[in-house]
Amino acid sequence: MAEYKWPPMEQRKLMGKRIARLDGPMKSSGRAKYPSDMNQPGLLFAVLLTSPHAHAKVKSIDVAPAKAIKGVTAVRVISGPGTEIQWAGTEVAAVSAVTEEIARDAAKAIVVEYEVLTHLVKEENLAKVGPRAKAAGEQITGDPDKAFQDSEAKISGDYGIPVITHCCLEPHGSVVAWGNDKIDFWPSTQAVSTVGGDLAKLLELPATQVKVDCQYMGGGFGSKFPADRWGAEAARLSKESGGRPVKLFLDRATELTIAGVRPSHFAKIKVAGKKDGTMTGWQSESWASGGIGGGGMAPLPYVFTNIPNRRMNHTQVSLNAGPARAWRAPNHPQASFLTCSAISDFAAEIGMDPYDVFLKNLDLTLRADTYRKQLVKGAELIDWKKKFQLGSAKTGNIRRGLGIGIATWGGAGHASKCRLTIHPDGTVEVEIGSQDIGTATRTCITQVAAETLGLPMSAVKVKLGNNSYPPSGPSGGSTTIGGVSSSTRKAAVNALEKLLEKVAPGMGVPPDQLEANDSRIVAKGNPNKAMSWKQACQKMGPTAISEMGENEPRSAAREGLNTQGASGIQMAEVEVDMETGVVRIVEVVAVQDCGLVVNPRTAESQVAGALIMSVCSALMEERIMDQTTGRVLNADMEFYKLAGLPDVGKLTVHMDITKEHDSRGIIGLGEPCAIGGVAAIANAAANALGVRVPMVPLTPERVLAALANRRNA
């Protein structure tokens, strides 16, 4: 039976090495073609007409004026009379035309009459949401009332983290051409193998009729799995336009309004404990919203799940606003912010360094030893013990502070199939229906295949991004690297085993005593008995060797190629101007484990990107709603603020690579590194100010208001 386990760390020649991503030159030179670059012959341009109202019923719609415009090829009604609109930006109609300008003019010409209904778009103040609040029940463990009654110290705080949007650099959308017997579909997607089936279902067609291709995609953080209504409408516009390809990508305002959000989370939290820092009680009353469906309870208390006495109540708030979609560790950044903020405030209340309080309570977590080592390493990297001062001891107009955030995640590999072919001329092809969403998936697959076959990476060609290849799961939940690496490893081992069977008789060595190494087939223990890779492949005759490999999640942990359970900590140092309220990032440190790291260089890049996203969320990123109109006020790149290079500060990434972690197999990384940064930055600001800013982002207005409230208290 084939031996699939990973080679030992010290024997690897490609896996675990700092290798630049293979598609870097294509992207940096502009040669990489993204779905939005697919300007096919005869291309038409489509535009959506969306509702200006947050809650309304469509009474009538007249598309005749749009159809009368020269250059318009098709007009479709999406939300017809009687449709109840639940958020502003809902798709009402779609138009295709020979130019984008004509399509926009035609969309504006459509006449829609609405019956406007009452709406709610703001949830910060739970007392004002009325019947739109739905209690989700109470969870009690131990005796929280007694814990608070007997406590030596306790704190109570209000905390909030608002809705943010996905804000993908390449908006949601696709190019689609509906021919006679097939649909060619170029979506910006995180789900190459499944998005075609989703489109086919919307169009009531067999899934085999949809041909998907997505070689590159410009940003996807959990929102780009389905074909979406706009994908289906683009296909229908193509059909009604004689099969000509139609390009429909959301404009920036629509992208920020309806293409998915990360839900808000607010909480009133109490922590009880001893003056030595031991936590004994937790109580939280939380509420959240991600749109019309409300918002589920974040996992509170986060990571410190074994606080002995706990009471949690949660309320879901239904808003007439664009719906939630999975956003890089759903609910975890919010939970980390709420929990770590409360713990840090508890430390400040008893006059202790929060670093010591976090360390003291690690036995309340599920991976105490790992977190302990990570906190110690993070403190070393940021020079915590030398720099830390209690907030009450700080003076001057410019003050610095330190803060901690903590994270956990699963990250087991998804279902994945891979086909690896060894050709008689020695070339190797890997075919897998995965996607590379910018995380170096191509590069890592190449490393795994080349490592297994004893070849240089240049000898392996990876083909992905097309649903004609063996199916592989969507890129979500940090599941891709484990899934594709495992299926590639198995396919490569299986193919190599067949090759060794071909050459063994001629070498006079049993197949199980041969190995592939340095582009040669070598007898184990006898390096002089060998032949080159090309010579070995010539023994195959005219027929290529093609073998499959599969990662099955149910058996993956037992096999050991990939498992789950990633831990990480982040620490931040910030500088705050006490007069202007401006918060500046000095440094953010991340210490992160994710099992066996296929490529430390690209792993560090993943973490650095997550830190930048955390800076955005902590300092400036927020969807701002207007209760009067029900509209998003900052649905553009001028007022929906994101960090630029001067805002980011120094980013220090330490991948927690050890034999112990490596032995657990590959674990996903995309989510866990995006969790703790907001908490770390918010806590650093609280330490610098000597007062908690209860809600992020930490805008100057909120910082100055917190300082004013302290003075007036």
Q: How far apart are CA 381 and CA 403, in angstroms?
A: 13
Instruction: Identify whether 270 is part of a domain.
Output: yes
Asked if 603 contacts 656 with a C-beta cutoff of 8 angstroms, the reply is no
Per-residue pLDDT band for 691 (boundaries 50, 70, 90) equals: very high
Which pLDDT score, from 0 to 100, does residue 349 have? 97
Which pLDDT score, from 0 to 100, does residue 711 have? 81
Q: How far apart are CA 182 and CA 209, in angstroms?
A: 5
301 strand-pairing partners: none
Those residues whose C-beta lies under 8 Å from the C-beta of residue 314, and which sit 6 or more positions away, are 135, 136, 137, 285, 286, 287, 288, 296, 297
248 strand-pairing partners: 174
Asked if 430 contacts 595 with a C-beta cutoff of 8 angstroms, the reply is no
Those residues whose C-beta lies under 8 Å from the C-beta of residue 395, and which sit 6 or more positions away, are none
Which pLDDT score, from 0 to 100, does residue 2 have? 82
Same domain, 108 and 191: yes
Asked if 648 contacts 665 with a C-beta cutoff of 8 angstroms, the reply is no
Q: In which residue are the tokens 């069977």 written?
A: 501
Same domain, 545 and 521: yes
Q: How far apart are CA 261 and CA 107, in angstroms?
A: 26
Domain end, chosen from 201, 226, 249, is at 249
Per-residue pLDDT band for 458 (boundaries 50, 70, 90) equals: very high
The identity of residue 411, as a single letter, is G
Sign of the CA dihedral with 344 first, then 348, 350, and 355 last: positive
How far is C-alpha 62 from the chain's CA centre? 41
pLDDT tens across 350-379, in order? 999 999 999 999 999 999 999 999 999 999
Helix/strand/coil (H, E, C) string of 629-655? CCCECCCCCCCCCCCCHHHHCEEEEEE
> What's the whole-number mean pLDDT along residues 587-600?
97
User: How many domains in the chain?
Assistant: 3
Beta strands in 197-342 (DSSP E): 210-212, 246-249, 261-262, 265-273, 279-288, 309-317
Q: How far apart are CA 290 and CA 308, in angstroms?
A: 31
Asked if 332 contacts 409 with a C-beta cutoff of 8 angstroms, the reply is yes
Q: Supply φ then ψ for residue 639, to 5 degrees.
A: -115, -10
Structure tokens at 507: 């070498």
Q: How far apart are CA 342 and CA 283, in angstroms?
A: 11
Same domain, 491 and 524: yes
Domain end, chosen from 499, 532, 559, is at 559
> What is the reported pTM?
0.97
Q: Supply φ then ψ for residue 607, to 5 degrees.
A: -65, -45
Instruction: Identify the CATH number of the domain in which residue 579 sits.
Output: 3.30.365.10
Same domain, 489 and 459: yes
Q: How far apart are CA 613 and CA 585, in angstroms?
A: 13
pLDDT tops 90 at residue 391: no
Same domain, 449 and 553: yes
Which pLDDT score, from 0 to 100, does residue 64 have? 98
Residue 542 CB: number of other CB atoms within 10 A? 5
Instruction: Identify whether 26 is part of a domain.
Output: no
Asked if 448 contacts 454 with a C-beta cutoff of 8 angstroms, the reply is no
Per-residue pLDDT band for 713 (boundaries 50, 70, 90) equals: low
Per-residue pLDDT band for 201 (boundaries 50, 70, 90) equals: very high
Domain enclosing residue 281, as ranges: 261-411+564-712
Which pLDDT score, from 0 to 100, does residue 618 have? 98
